Structure 1
Amino acid sequence: MSSGWCWSRCYRSRPGGDVRPWCRDGRALGVWSGAGASGLALGSLLGGLLTGAWGWQAVFYVNVPLAAIAIAGAYLLIPADGPRARGRRFDLPGAVLATAGVSLLAFALIQGPESGWASPSILSSVVLAVVLLAAFVSVEKRSGDALMPLRLFGNRSLSSAIAVILVFGVTFNALPYFLTVYFQTVLGYGAVATGLAFLVPALLIAFGTQLGGRLAGRIGMRLTLLIGTIGGAAGTALVAVGVSADGSYANVLPGIVIMGVSQGLTWTGMWIASATGVAGREQGVASGLASTALQVGSALGLAVLVAASGLGEATGTALATGLRTAVFIAAVGMLLGTAVALTFARKRIAQPALV
């Protein structure tokens, strides 16, 4: 579940900033949320089984036949695009500059903790990424058919949603790494047991996404995001308290329950926010911006939390202490999402019908 496409298709802005369901019965929304949550739950379990049977390489090989099935299904099931608008051009310079800049930035963030932030390769990558992204912004300002129309950032809901999504990537999306290290290295779980351990939060996230859709319709997007981010911070802090060298799964389970449901609530609210007030013809662009923010935030969060926790070659008590530090920092970071959520207008959206 890495795109807000269904939210952008199922919600359109009305005069005054209110948002009403575009899909009559919300079935598309229910299918999208359910499919993503089911994939998360099944992936946690099957990933452990594949790793236990054939090694970690299996989780990459299995993507090949699955991707082939998806490609074939897209041609067979998805209707062809309608007539394209004449006179429009593909923004090739913008696409090249954005792809190169974001790729270099992601490389620096991911490789930085291992190579050292002051190493020539990391410093040069960061500098070149900044230059390329600055050039991208310059090109977009002058382009008649911009890949990323800068005027979209004038939409407060979209710009605030992107900030929330960045925080989500930095915090929520980074936590599975630290939990994996805790389960396998500290608690001594095997691949299958780790997959089963992740099945619980995956199911709770699935529940949270469905609950988030209902809450957004009843109490509004703003309050839904506030509940999700505050609950996420509280649950993550509880997980950190339960992490110890002689701990157990039961010690972190209460925090996982709260954190999982809250993550689902936040997920739902932030994608609704990213689609609010955006014209129908630009929903794809807005969704792309939001998805890019999620990926960049995820890379940034993992790099920062690994560096801040000082894991390195730590073992035993030192490793557990480093993991606890990383999780606590993530909990504090989630409160930034709460601060951003307060910037959203106090508007209620119509409750979507969920399946």
Structure 2
Amino acid sequence: MPSTTSSAPGRRRLGATLALLAFAQLIISIDYNIVYVALPEIGSGLGFSAQDLQWVVSAYAVAFGGFLLLGGRASDLFGSRRLFASGLVLYAVSSLLGGLAESAAVLVGARAGQGIGGALLFPATLTLVSTSFAEGRERNRAFAVWGTAGGSGMILGSLLGGVLTDAFGWEAVFFVNVPLAGAAALLAFVLIAPDGPRAGGRSMDVAGALTSTIGVTAVVFALVQGPESGWLSPVVLTAALAGALMLAAFVAVERRSADPLMPLRLFTNRDLSVGTVVTFLYMGTFGTLMYFLTVYFQGVHGYDALTTGLAFLAPMAAIAVGSQLAGRLATRYGIRPVLVAALAAGGVGAVIVAATMATDASYAALIPGLLVLGLGQGAGYTLMFGAAASGVAAADQGIASGIVSTSQQVGGAVGLALLVAVANAGLDGLGGQALRTATTDGLRGAVLIAAAGIVATALVALGLRKPRTAPVAERHERTGGRSVMHV
């Protein structure tokens, strides 16, 4: 229920709730990258083959992407707080299992469990941000805090993974999640308002849940396995075809369902439709650049894991500044112009980074480009989710969040697969200085293509609805400074 509150206790409670939601987003973001630097030790410790080691990463990505739509609709049906706490508990249990794993199969299963936990947690967290704060100034600020945690967490994951692995071994990158996720799950029942009663007559669309989960999981599997097995390999082609058929069946089911998992009417909301495309393109461009920078730092300049993590501190600071600045500017000027400007700035930053990448370049030469890139990346990440949530009814915020976050996962997988192919072209048979030079050239080409994609994303973002004629800040002042928030 929306209510008007200006009391200090009410604000403090909302502030604590937002801190918890941002903390949960930080956990999700950290876990994307925290295992990367531990992969060599995991491989030798558990006897992974070189080909199978990728599944320490891929099992998480496949499960996360495949279950997001289900997690989003479950948040609408069963309550966001319940799904938030359930996702965190599953995260904690799976992390404990991963840290205790003594075989490759158990560890891969634990990573899949973490992915499913994330698929429950992410849309629930996004829904709680959207529904706990009124659209406009309050929601923009909330998304700025949430976006800062998400953008910074991906870089912190690399740094934390290096520190923990060096100090305590690979198991620590799993064990660290247990107290963090466990404490957050307990705090959910203290800080987040209880879920309301379930709407009468609503039920889970089982056919839609099965077809969407199988379809998206198969597509994501094909995307992450393609670079390893070959795009024309039987396993990849079979998964891609099965995924396409399941998704076609999913759309047919949704058209006929009385209470669909993903109501197709949602796509009549222009902000949600455009925001979903923007998110897909953002992750296929911005979302891949950390991978290429990591390869550049380690493969070309020979940085170790800890040094690589430290190298990301400059863009992490820029991401945090961009996220906070975006919330303020969106309140004043509206989401669309600020998002377009942020994406354009990010494209310029990517071009500067590409221009300064060389086998003999210093880290200092990269800093200007990294800072501009980080500002655009942080602002864009914050605003694209806020744009997609605009105008969506509270009862549909969960599935809307699931749609956007599924687009995020698939977009990242598609972008990485395509750009890795560009970066790795022509590297076979090379060694020594020739390999370093060719690697740098390939990485530069991939970053430039990503920059072009970022500019295309800015053009797509022009399709968002124009800002309202009266800025939110002015309306806020006319109400005497009162804030209307959902509590």
Task: Tell me the TM-score normalized by structure 1.
Answer: 0.89
Contact 2:127/2:401 (<8 A) preserved: yes
Contact 2:130/2:389 (<8 A) preserved: yes
Note the C-alpha offset of 1:31: 4.8
Q: Distance in 2 between matches of 1:77 and 1:102?
A: 33
Which shows bigger deviation, 35-44 or 177-186?
A: 35-44
Gaps of 5+ in 1: 13-18
Residues 194-273 of structure 1: pairs in structure 2 closer than 5 A: 194-273=308-387
Q: Distance in 2 between matches of 1:105 and 1:306?
A: 18
Give the structure with the higher percent helix.
2
Give the one of 442, 455, 474 matched to 1:322.
442
Gaps of 5+ in 2: 1-24, 26-121
Q: Distance in 2 between matches of 1:333 and 1:156?
A: 21
Give the equivalent residue in structure 2 for 1:344: 464
Contact 2:285/2:450 (<8 A) preserved: yes
Q: Distance in 2 between matches of 1:51 and 1:242?
A: 31
Give the equivalent residue in structure 2 for 1:331: 451
Cα distance change of structure 1 residues 301 and 37 upon mapping to structure 2, 3 Å threshold? closer
Letter of the structure 1 residue corresponding to residue 414 of structure 2: L
Cα distance change of structure 1 residues 63 and 347 upon mapping to structure 2, 3 Å threshold? same
Contact 1:148/1:285 (<8 A) preserved: yes
Map Cα deviations across residues 298-328 of structure 1 (whole Å, 9 max, x no partner): 1111111101222565631111111111111
Q: Distance in 2 between matches of 1:263 and 1:139?
A: 37
Tell whether 2:136 aligns with 1:20.
yes
Note the C-alpha offset of 1:50: 1.7
Give the equivalent residue in structure 2 for 1:128: 242
Q: CA RMSD in A?
A: 2.4
Cα distance change of structure 1 residues 182 and 297 upon mapping to structure 2, 3 Å threshold? same
Map Cα deviations across residues 39-72 of structure 1 (whole Å, 9 max, x no partner): 4564343222123334555434433443333333
Q: Distance in 2 between matches of 1:55 and 1:248?
A: 31
Residues 65-76 of structure 1: pairs in structure 2 closer than 5 A: 65-76=179-190
Q: Distance in 2 between matches of 1:206 and 1:87?
A: 43
Which shows bigger deviation, 114-123 or 243-252?
A: 243-252
Map Cα deviations across residues 117-163 of structure 1 (whole Å, 9 max, x no partner): 11111111110000001111111111111111101111111100011
Letter of the structure 2 residue corresponding to residue 328 of structure 1: L
Cα distance change of structure 1 residues 180 and 54 upon mapping to structure 2, 3 Å threshold? farther
Note the C-alpha offset of 1:177: 0.6
Which shows bigger deviation, 84-93 or 129-138?
A: 84-93
Give the equivalent residue in structure 2 for 1:98: 212
Structure 1 segments of 4 or more deviating over 4 A? 26-31, 54-57, 311-314, 351-354
Cα distance change of structure 1 residues 22 and 257 upon mapping to structure 2, 3 Å threshold? closer
Aligned length: 346
Aligned to 2:136, what secondary structure does the other structure show? strand
Note the C-alpha offset of 1:268: 2.0
Contact 2:419/2:446 (<8 A) preserved: yes
Give the one of 223, 231, 246 matched to 1:109.
223
Cα distance change of structure 1 residues 41 and 127 upon mapping to structure 2, 3 Å threshold? closer
Cα distance change of structure 1 residues 91 and 337 upon mapping to structure 2, 3 Å threshold? same
Contact 2:319/2:374 (<8 A) preserved: yes
Task: Tell me the TM-score normalized by structure 2.
Answer: 0.66
Give the one of 119, 127, 130 matched to 1:5.
127
Give the one of 273, 277, 287 matched to 1:159.
273
Cα distance change of structure 1 residues 168 and 10 upon mapping to structure 2, 3 Å threshold? farther
